[in-house]
Every structure is written in C-alpha cells, then in structure tokens.
Amino acid sequence: KQEVTQIPAALSVPEGENLVLNCSFTDSAIYNLQWFRQDPGKGLTSLLLIQSSQREQTSGRLNASLDKSSGRSTLYIAASQPGDSATYLCAVSPRPKAQKLVFGQGTRLTINP
Amino acid sequence: GAVVSQHPSWVICKSGTSVKIECRSLDFQATTMFWYRQFPKQSLMLMATSNEGSKATYEQGVEKDKFLINHASLTLSTLTVTSAHPEDSSFYICSARDLREGPISSNQPQHFGDGTRLSIL
C-alpha cells in the first residue's frame, strides 16, 4: 500500500529565506508526483507536476525534484514571501490506478515578515 | 484553465439532516470526478470515484448508503451525506479530469474545487 509522508509538519521561517519541503513515498511505481498549495479553508492549487520519467520541474521561484528510486521529492522555494504562507501537499499518482491520488499530510508553512 | 466549482462552500445543519454538495466542471467535460474528505490538519482521503452514467466506486471503509453519489451529466456530480451526524463534520473536496487531457490512465492532473466545509451540530 502506497504511503506518502511529509516532513516537517510545520515550518516557520523569516521572509527572504530559501527553504526546502520534503516528501517521501513507499512505492516507486508511480505515474507522477504533484505538489499542491492549500490556503486555510480552501481547495487545492496545483503548483508542479513531475512525470515519473522526469527529475525536476520549475515554475518561477519553485523547483520540485523527484528521485523515484529512493522514493523522495523536494519542493524548493526561493526568496520566500509572506504570501507563500500556506499548507503544501504532495501527492503521488500510483500505478496502475493513476486516478487514485495518495496524499501526504502536508507541511504548514509560515513566512514571517 | 479548467475550473471546478463546488457549492455550497460552507454548510451548518442539525444532526439527522441530509446535505447535498455539488461539484461542477465549468469549462470542460468530465466523465470522472473524485470526492475527497479532509479532517483538520490531516491529509485528503479519497472517498469515491464518480462515473458519469454509472455507479460510483467507493473506497474501502466508505459507506455507500451514507454518502450517495450521483453523476448525471458530464459537468455535474453530487455528494449527499444522508442522516448526517457530528462525526461527518469535515471538509469535502471534489476534483475532476478534463476529457480532452486524455484517458484516465494518462499523466494528467486532476482539477480541484474549493471544497465544502460541513459542520453538523
């Protein structure tokens, strides 16, 4: 059974710092891995999707990496801003049932001005 | 981009009431929609897969008679929490896949609604 773990559960850093969020999964048989942002009381906003054949994806100040063999992904946020404060979730799309996303518990990020 | 709308965004009702939540794909068609449940400070758990024109597929441990799902058109799925009790209070989120983005097994993302917060008194 696929399990996804995110560490740390919460993180608080000063504005301007670069930071890394971690995600690990137990079964390397995945189609892709996705990072989402969730604001309090809101739904999910997709940030980055990495296909299983890819090593990383970049969007603006965000960079996500994937090491499928070791079951790990990181989300790197450069030059953090208060507006980055949110909960970040990673989810894998497992083989063979791609649509059954398996989510981690999330990392609650606070960027202090 | 693909937009998924959920309604209502927040509902408070008495124990024993049945509550219906709607999930609509606004600018695309979706043969498959997904319903998730999220408890405070916990992850999303898939409850069921809603299939247009056929019965929903429920995950293990999810009561079919408790959580009724109807997917009558390519743009609308509904989740009805029947005879709701305080333990059903949670955040319910739906997602949908755009038909144009390929078959269900392809590497394409799901598009999520903004969720519905259900509070049962």
For residue A44, which residues of chain B lie inside 8 Å, CB to CB?
A: 44, 93, 95, 112
pLDDT for res B59: 93
Tens of pLDDT, residue by residue over B26-37, are 988 888 899 999
Residue B50 has pLDDT above 80, yes or no: yes
A9 contact partners, CB below 8 Å, separation of at least 6: A105, A106, A107, A108
Residue B103 has pLDDT above 70, yes or no: no
Give the integer Cα–Cα distance in Å for B1 and B6: 16
Select from B43, B105, B117 the Cβ nearest to the Cβ of A103. B43
Which 3 state secondary structure label does DSSP give B87? helix
Residue type, B28: F
Tens of pLDDT, residue by residue over A34-79, are 999 999 888 899 899 999 999 999 999 999 999 999 999 999 999 9
What does the mean pLDDT of chain A come to? 93
Give the integer Cα–Cα distance in Å for A82 and A102: 28
pLDDT bracket for residue B5 (50, 70, 90): very high
Rounded to the nearest angstrom, the minimum Cα separation between B112 and chain A is: 6
| Angstrom distances, CA of residue B86 to CA of B19, B67, B83 | 13, 15, 10
Cβ contact A76:A62 at 8 Å: yes
Residue B91 has pLDDT above 90, yes or no: yes
